[in-house]
Amino acid sequence: MQSRTPSLSPRPRGVLRRLAVLAAALMAAVPVISSPAVADEPAADAASYPVYVNERGANRPDLVQYGSTRSTVVYDVFAYTCDTGGCYSNGGALPSQATYEAKVKEYMGANQFGGVATAPVVLDFEAIELTQVATGQTATNAYNLWRQLLTWTRNAAPQAPICHYGYDWLTQNQALIKQLHTDNLLNCFAPRAYFNDGQSLASWDSNLDASVARDRAMAPSHPIYPYVSPTAFPSETFVPGNTWAHMFAAVKAKTDGVVVWEPSIRDANACAWISQHSYEMGVITGTGSTGPLRASATMPSGSCIVNRGTTTSIPVTITNTSTTTTAATQMQSFTGTTGFSGSWQYWNVPSLAPGATWNTTLPMTIAATQTAGTALLHIRTGLSDTRWAVIVK
């Protein structure tokens, strides 16, 4: 997906780039905590709201463990273009149906995105996206190519909703896009909803609202799955946690699901984001932190990073966040997440008055074979369960 700045008028195309974590941080490294600074996590308010993820390659965050579903994006390896004379692939003949369908299945496969059969398949063919091509014969040629490609995509992915990644706040050639939806060749929308450097939340809201309004008017029954990213463009620095919270609140209120595009985790700049994302997914799935006792853990590094193949002694503080005194309880065995293990230094948690704390230490071992770039962990007592998101290096 291109890192194009939203606008109500077309802008020049950028170069497709994978997300990368830059060294510049939007905030200082933060101690590992289970969730953002909130009094309590609400019950699930959108348990049926699907959160899809496009992720592949080494060290991917594995957002499935937080409650996401893997979906598929098909990139434009055929380099489609159209002009008044016709449409082309790499400047020449278009691929055969068999070649095209094989590529769609490849992107859906385990070696690429591993998308679930019923999850959206999004075609990212931006050079022929109908809001981006010239009106007239060029648009007609692109429209006819879309009809062919969408028919082939349906053959390759018969159970999936099919969307095309688009700049849905723009309205050029809108009648042609609407016809593709009317004919059910397209049966979902996938608007770009990334955050841009220096953009205000109001500006981001305005572009999302314009996209949703266009799409609802065009095909009210077709779901809208905007594409979001934890990094802002073009700097590719991670957005603050409160920005991610704002974006999630907006898409949950206005759309039918969301796709997190190829997040990449490489350093501590992602700590605030993964903590906030863990919280948001806890709300959506109804599995947020529970109970009066909340745990906070501070890595010796001062960030949320843990290292594979090592054992790290992690100080943990238990705090009574309720307004009543808690009964004595015990720390629970640290199990349940593949590749992580540890035995508490002190197990017996005393009775705690409101606001009181108690400290213990967890010598936590991470297996060298653990592969995900992040991990959703739990610190449990007999009275509570605190979600804890870490980055794994």
Task: For residue range 78-137, list pLDDT tens digits in order.
Answer: 999 999 999 999 999 999 999 999 999 999 999 999 999 999 999 999 999 999 999 999
Question: Which of 98-112, 245-259, 265-279 has the lowest average pLDDT?
Answer: 265-279
Q: What digits encode the pLDDT tens for the residues 378-391?
A: 999 999 999 999 99
Q: Residue 35: which pLDDT band, with cuts at 50, 70 and 90? A: very low
Strand partners, 378: 387
Taking 90 as the threshold, does the pLDDT of residue 265 lie above it?
Answer: no
Give the helix/strand (H/E) hosting 54.
strand 51-54
Give the pLDDT mean for 210-226: 97
Question: Nearest Cα to 125, choosing from 100, 106, 102?
Answer: 100
Task: Name the one residue in this structure whose structure tokens are 């170069």.
Answer: 15
Backbone φ and ψ of 248, nearest 5°? -65, -40
CA–CA distances in Å: residue 135 to residues 94, 172, 173, 181? 22, 8, 7, 19
Of the chain, the percentage scoring pLDDT greater than 90 comes to 79
The pLDDT value recorded for residue 29 is 32
* Helices 201-218 + 174-182 axis angle, to 10: 60
Burial of 205 (C-beta count, 10 Å sphere; 0-12/13-18/19+): middle
Specify the 3-state DSSP secondary structure of 82: strand
Query: DSSP string of 130-165?
Result: TTTSPTTHHHHHHHHHHHHHHHHHHHH-TTS-EEEE
The partner residues of 142 in beta bridges, in order of sequence, read none
The residue whose two tokens read 């090592």 is 310
Cβ atoms of residues 321 and 293 within 8 Å: yes
Contacts of 88 (CB under 8 A, 6+ apart): 80, 81, 82, 94
Average pLDDT, the chain: 88
Q: pTM higher than 0.75, yes or no? A: yes
Question: What is d(CA 190, CA 259) in angstroms, rounded to the nearest whole number?
Answer: 8
Pairing of the two strands 86-89 and 80-83: antiparallel
d(CA 316, CA 322) in angstroms, rounded, equals 18
Q: pLDDT category, 1, cuts 50, 70, 90?
A: low
Q: Where are the beta strands (DSSP E) in 209-356?
A: 227-228, 258-261, 293-297, 305-306, 310-320, 329-330, 340-342, 348-349
Provide mean pLDDT across the span 36-63: 68
Give the CA angle between residues 201, 2, 116 to the nearest 5°.
Answer: 95
CA–CA dist 149, 157 (Å, integer): 12
What pLDDT score was predicted for residue 47?
53
Rounded to whole angstroms, the Cα distance separating 60 from 375 reads: 11
Do the strands 190-191 and 162-166 form a parallel or antiparallel pair, or are they unpaired?
A: parallel
